[in-house]
Structure 1
Amino acid sequence: MHVVPIASLAAALALAGSALAADAGSKRPNVVIIMSDDQDRLLGSMDYMPVLQKELMGNGVEFENHYGTISNCCPSRASFLRGQAAHSTNITHVRPPGGNYDKWRLAGEDKNYLPHWIKKAGYKAEYVGKFLNGYSQVNYHIPPKGWDHVDALIEPYINDYNNVVMSQNGERPVQYRGFHSNDVTDPLANTKTSIDRLDRLLDAEDPFFLAVMPYAPHVSGDKPPTPQARHADKFPDAKAPRFANWNPSDEIQKTKSVFLKDMKLMDSEAEASADRLFLGRIRAIQGVDEIIEDVLAKLEEKGQLENTYVIFTTDNGYHIGAHRLPGGKALPYIQDTNLPLAVRGPGIPRGVKSKVASAHLDFAPTFLDIMGLDKKEWPEFLDGRSLLEEWKKPVPEAKPEIGSAKEIINIEFWGDKVVEIPEYKGMKLSNNSYKTLRIVSEESSWMFLNWCTNEMELYNITADPWEINNLAYGEVTPEHQRLINRLNSILMVTKSCTKDSCRDPWSALQPPEAQSRVSSLEAAMAPEHDEFYETFPKVHFGRCMQYQDEANEQPFWPPGAENDLGKAHRQPTDNWVSSNKGKPGVKPNAEPAGGPEQRHATMEQLMADTHVLTDDETGPLVPAEED
């Protein structure tokens, strides 16, 4: 018998409720992370989420300087799950040759990642919603390893909000007819009819980790996301914000690199389509806000809200109209990489905005720190660091020097970039591989970018937050060249760093003439270090490729770093072959789902018209022995 997703997720939260008789302080804290898909921080989407604003940000901390390690769904989630930079996971795209669920499995990375560590800490580990691109109706029977319970949306249905097909623990996929993806992913739309079975699913004595991964507000194919019917008419006058990087002039655009410098000005039709995309996104995330509301309400009802860390973020950012691109992600710029992050929970102050810098690869060590796992038991390959201390003290008493180790963010990408509106259907912009460095500081912030064509860009984020004034274009001033030399040296380390060198790149960047340790950009700018940084090896690509290739990205620093790249902790996947995700075998809802009557649908209503996919509908399966 299949347990429906609402029940399975409610089960994870119910273990807190079952322990209601016990003192909340006697139980280790629970962790719930809600991760939307392709949501922005800088397009204003969070302004349309009142529950997020009031209950998470108002009763917790908003971290304004949180970044994705790579701006694309699958590699970002792999980085989140492994606590590593993308160059260490070697999962670098959503499809071949860069990666997907098949490459993740073939690399053996599914045998040593977050849920295994969580369970080692004595926690239950559950997951619902989107996992990795490429988990589909032909390989669902090889489910994500490690989880006590996993309910995953599967391809090729995942981007059709009105055709919800999921596989639970590798069982045959089930179609939830008449329902919207957001409502099926919501763990607590209604649990009153299923509460009696939850105690049999989880041990009430154990704390838990629950990952809730809705698909919204990702596009639906080449169309805007589809909201629940009850939200389909909201915000009729809303339009995408027009910042300084919106559809810029020729004078600005020519200073960009690769395909960007040749992008044509968006016409009125493209601008209108961009506005429709924005509208669809803010309507679709209403369902995500409801998920936050339901999770918090249930935790409060069961007396475990104050004993649970509730985290909201997204996998990568998004741009609309920026740099003449009507919609999409995968660029190195601020809107694609700076992500929402809100945290509330034990010891977290309320109503605080923080400038603490962090990235997705920091989540795994933070969770292990929360769970009290002995550091001797932590995986040795983690590139990130625990943020727990900074979550509890989000406003440091003393500001670090500019460009200290904790303010250095590495962002990278390999492969093509897709424009996600109908007028640009099928357009793939291929020269989109790059290495990026961000110095995130309140006093001085910089973005340094090296494209696969070896074109460079430099932005003073303090003065130019929308990254339209490329200081590396044309004649570069001597002072900016001195800065570029320093930033290049840091990027040389971070583009291939692992473990300690990711947490402290300065450890590999000590000028021989230095009288004291250089540990910040501010210290490195001293004139006596000019020669060291001027003659330092330059970040370089041999050519633009669609995947990571060490020979193409020489040189490395320190010498020999190319021999690491996390390779000791994954299997080689040269010439790997991806499975075909198959063709849809079942039809979507005849009418848009998610009306007001489904806001608190009962279990009986959800199960009234489910359909278990047949062999003919799934198609041939990948042989299980390949795993």
Structure 2
Amino acid sequence: MAGRRTAARGGLTALLLPLLLTCCVRCARSKPSNIILILTDDQDVDLGGMTPMKKTKALIGGAGATFVNAFTVAPLCCPSRSSVLSGRYPHNHAVRNNSLSGNCSSPLWQKGPEAVAFPVHLSKQKYQTFFAGKYLNQYGKKDGGDVGHVPLGWDQWHALVGNSQYYNYTLSVNGKEEKHGDSYEKDYLTDLITNRSLSFLDNRSPQHPFFLMLCPPAPHSPWTAAPQYQKEFGHVTAPRDGSFNKPGKDKHWLLRQPVNPMPNSSLSFLDDAYRKRWQTLLSVDDMVETLVKKLESVKELDNTYIFYTSDNGYHTGQFSLPIDKRQLYEFDIRVPLMVRGPGIKPNQTLQAPVLNIDLAPTMLDISGVNLSSVNMDGQSFLSQMAPSLRNGTARPFFLVEYTGEGHPTTDPACPKLGPGLSQCFPDCVCEDAYNNTYACVRTLDGQSNLQYCEFADSESFVEMYNLASDPHQLENIVKKVDPTVLQTMNQRLIKLQSCEGDSCRDVK
């Protein structure tokens, strides 16, 4: 009997063995999806900033989802990038502006939010991680740990020291200083990022998923295009519609000080900047095409999510401000966002608002991290792109906040404006000031499309716009709107300014 039982068991094993082997092979092949995040620098979406990106729009947007209501929670590089990395609003990660004293890549940031940023969680999920390009504006400076500081979570680290450059820059390569010159073939930063990402993909382990974060300098100043693109768009000028060259008569004092109409010198300056920004983006467009082809060749494209976005928007002549960001208006807070990947149907245009604090939880959602275990203010938007994968809801309200920067002494080029200003451009137009400090609640829920902003200044200035009837924010309606609506927006703003984690997603 025992012998027959053993024989029967052996026969059953023989029958099941092929099935078990097949299952094991599937298990061995099945790994979490790869993720690539391409984060550009100062790329607007409202004013045509995506127009040059034909390959990107086809290969990411056309192959996946385009979010037409994507926003940054802070329209400036360092606080915005800190929000991308941490999944938190600025009042929770405490990076206020681009200065070290404003916590940009400061020891406080490094010991706090950076130590629990989303790449740390991806690394714990066995992702192979790679970073190249601009990180934070003060990264690599002596008071911020120098080039030897490599943030937790990164296997390969090729980070730009300081702010955007295309040539003559320094990298921290895995904590070692690497200086670059002005040779296009060796040094042009956008192409270097592309080439090093390809090397990483060649040398990775196929057993584990990968995450690449690629941060080209384009289209940030000094707007140095690759040699082959420096004559492109020769007849292009900045758009002359919407709020272009309009006076900021009912706005915060900083918007009331530009000369209107703008002099020809300012118009020439901003048109030149507009063209050069487009020229620099052509190399980013090449980057996207090269990466997609590489993923195809290594048979990883179908298992890779590719996110394309920017840290903030940009303006060129709106409300007579020549060039910059830092303002509360749509042209500065809206950003491009396109995503392709497993389960995402092609050619989707999605309306629900998405924030840059949502990128981190979305990528962690893809990787399999339990989102209740991480302290983030954002929420995953995976369900919006691929409804079969998760359940989720869109937010009805969100916060935009900014802390202004200024110089304690008067700018020699603008003595009439006094101290406390910065970012002064041609014809004595200053784009920032200490009291350009504001917080806004934005409502975009299908029923209302409103923005309510309060300034921390001696006037306690308030701006409110109905973007359904006034998409270019030409009229501040704060003195016309029903006081109960103002009260409601004020209460939402108060709650959002002190929110953390779940409470940032549950504001009524």
Compute the TM-score of the two structures, normalised by the length of structure 1: 0.69
- Residue 490 of structure 1 aligns to a residue whose secondary structure is helix
Distance 1:319 1:208 in 2: 35
Q: What's the offset of the Cα at 1:218?
A: 0.6
Q: What's the offset of the Cα at 1:420?
A: 7.0
Whether the 8 Å contact between 1:273 and 1:421 is mirrored in structure 2 is: no
Partner of 2:419: none
Instruction: Map 1:267-346 to 2 at 5 A.
Output: 267-346=263-342
Quick one: which of 256, 264, 278 aligns to 2:259?
264
Correspondence 1:463 to 2:457: no
Correspondence 1:71 to 2:75: yes
Correspondence 1:386 to 2:391: no
Q: What's the offset of the Cα at 1:127?
A: 0.9
Matched residue type, 2:480? V
Q: 1:420 to 1:43 in 2, by over 3 A?
A: farther
- Which is further off, 357-366 or 33-42? 357-366
Kindly indicate whether structure 1 or structure 2 has the higher relative contact order, using CA contacts under 8 Å at least 6 residues apart: 1
Partner of 1:488: 490
Q: What's the offset of the Cα at 1:476?
A: 2.5
Q: 1:242 to 1:393 in 2, by over 3 A?
A: farther
Matched residue type, 2:496? T
Correspondence 1:56 to 2:54: no
Correspondence 1:142 to 2:149: yes
Partner of 1:577: none
Whether the 8 Å contact between 1:185 and 1:212 is mirrored in structure 2 is: yes
Q: What's the offset of the Cα at 1:40?
A: 0.3
Partner of 2:7: none
Distance 2:432 2:49 in 1: 26
Partner of 2:42: 38
Partner of 1:161: 166
Distance 2:181 2:26 in 1: 37
Whether the 8 Å contact between 2:122 and 2:153 is mirrored in structure 1 is: no
User: Alpha-carbon deviations, 1:404-437, whole Å to 9, x = none?
Assistant: 9712121000122754755559874332100101
Q: 1:294 to 1:238 in 2, by over 3 A?
A: same
Distance 2:229 2:345 in 1: 33
Q: What's the offset of the Cα at 1:256?
A: 0.7
Whether the 8 Å contact between 1:162 and 1:181 is mirrored in structure 2 is: yes
Distance 1:407 1:102 in 2: 33
- Residue 339 of structure 1 aligns to a residue whose secondary structure is coil
Matched residue type, 2:400? I
- Residue 50 of structure 2 aligns to a residue whose secondary structure is helix
User: Alpha-carbon deviations, 1:174-231, whole Å to 9, x = none?
Assistant: 3255132211122469x5xx69x943xx3220001110000111112xxxx1111110
Distance 1:366 1:92 in 2: 24
Matched residue type, 2:303? N
Distance 1:476 1:25 in 2: 62
- Which is further off, 262-271 or 234-243? 262-271
Distance 1:63 1:420 in 2: 33
Partner of 2:8: none
Matched residue type, 1:94? N
Partner of 2:451: 447
Q: 1:109 to 1:444 in 2, by over 3 A?
A: closer
Instruction: Map 1:527-546 to 2 at 5 A.
Output: none
Distance 1:346 1:389 in 2: 12
User: Alpha-carbon deviations, 1:246-290, whole Å to 9, x = none?
Assistant: 1114xxx22111321232212111011111110110011111111
Q: 1:215 to 1:449 in 2, by over 3 A?
A: same
Q: 1:60 to 1:424 in 2, by over 3 A?
A: farther
Partner of 1:432: 436
Whether the 8 Å contact between 2:129 and 2:210 is mirrored in structure 1 is: yes
Whether the 8 Å contact between 2:135 and 2:160 is mirrored in structure 1 is: yes
User: Alpha-carbon deviations, 1:282-306, whole Å to 9, x = none?
Assistant: 0111111111111111111111111
Whether the 8 Å contact between 1:254 and 1:262 is mirrored in structure 2 is: no
Q: 1:375 to 1:331 in 2, by over 3 A?
A: closer
Whether the 8 Å contact between 1:122 and 1:206 is mirrored in structure 2 is: yes
Q: 1:353 to 1:120 in 2, by over 3 A?
A: same
Distance 1:99 1:243 in 2: 37
Matched residue type, 1:143? V
Instruction: Map 1:555-594 to 2 at 5 A.
Output: none
Q: 1:452 to 1:137 in 2, by over 3 A?
A: closer
Whether the 8 Å contact between 1:274 and 1:421 is mirrored in structure 2 is: no
Distance 1:308 1:112 in 2: 24
Q: What's the offset of the Cα at 1:149?
A: 1.1
Whether the 8 Å contact between 1:121 and 1:368 is mirrored in structure 2 is: no
Quick one: which of 382, 393, 396 aligns to 1:407?
396
Q: What's the offset of the Cα at 1:110?
A: 2.5
Quick one: which of 234, 237, 240 aligns to 1:239?
237
Partner of 2:218: 216
Distance 1:444 1:187 in 2: 46
Matched residue type, 1:304? E
Partner of 2:415: none
- Residue 501 of structure 1 aligns to a residue whose secondary structure is helix
Whether the 8 Å contact between 1:414 and 1:434 is mirrored in structure 2 is: yes
Q: 1:104 to 1:299 in 2, by over 3 A?
A: farther
Distance 2:294 2:264 in 1: 46
Distance 1:424 1:307 in 2: 52
- Which is further off, 85-94 or 115-124? 115-124
Q: 1:33 to 1:22 in 2, by over 3 A?
A: farther
Q: Which runs of 5+ in 2 are unaligned?
A: 1-24, 407-421
CA RMSD, Structure 1 to Structure 2 (Å): 2.5
Q: 1:271 to 1:163 in 2, by over 3 A?
A: same
Q: What's the offset of the Cα at 1:444?
A: 2.1
Distance 1:67 1:184 in 2: 28
Q: Which has the higher strand share?
A: 2
Q: 1:154 to 1:102 in 2, by over 3 A?
A: same
Q: 1:424 to 1:219 in 2, by over 3 A?
A: farther
Q: What's the offset of the Cα at 1:173?
A: 2.3
Whether the 8 Å contact between 2:169 and 2:181 is mirrored in structure 1 is: yes
Q: Which runs of 5+ in 1 are unaligned?
A: 1-20, 507-627
Q: What's the offset of the Cα at 1:124?
A: 1.5
Whether the 8 Å contact between 1:326 and 1:420 is mirrored in structure 2 is: no
